[in-house]
Amino acid sequence: MSKYDETLDLCFSALGDPTRRKILQRLARGEATVSELAEPHNMALPSFMEHLKKLESANLITSKKKGRTRMCKLAPNAFAPTRDWLTEQSDIWDGRLDRFDNYIKNLMQERSK
């Protein structure tokens, strides 16, 4: 099992909010300004910036200033820690279910004898 990783907690926390998931969906299509990202959300800009800050602290997005405009984009391999953890958990449960299935099959064979 993976060692404890604080970045995984930050990532899942960031993904737990629908506004942040919508931001990530938009950034999956390419880089965008903060104004473009904020437009569909009915909230004050300081509140919206907190969402961006949380995504950035979770290493899901990066941002940089271009003149007076702040541009955001998905971070390279943004979802790798989450994907890796989920894959590991899936492998563990697949193994458990396979062993359980074998146990049930053996039990049924013994009872039929």
pLDDT (tens digit, 9 = 90+) per residue, 8-52?
Answer: 899 999 999 999 999 999 999 999 999 999 999 999 999 999 999
Reading the block at residue 105, the tokens are: 């099959």
- What mean pLDDT is predicted for residues 94-109? 90
Reading the block at residue 64, the tokens are: 């940089």
Q: What is the spatial distance between Cα 54 and Cα 13, in angstroms, rounded to a whole number?
A: 9
The answer to whether the predicted template modeling score (pTM) of the entire model surpasses 0.85 is: no
Amino acid identity for residue 24 in this structure: L
Greater confidence (56 vs 1) lies with 56
The answer to whether the beta carbons of residues 11 and 85 sit under 8 Å apart is no
| pLDDT, the chain, mean | 91
DSSP-based three-state secondary structure for 39 = coil
Q: What is the spatial distance between Cα 49 and Cα 105, in angstroms, rounded to a whole number?
A: 55
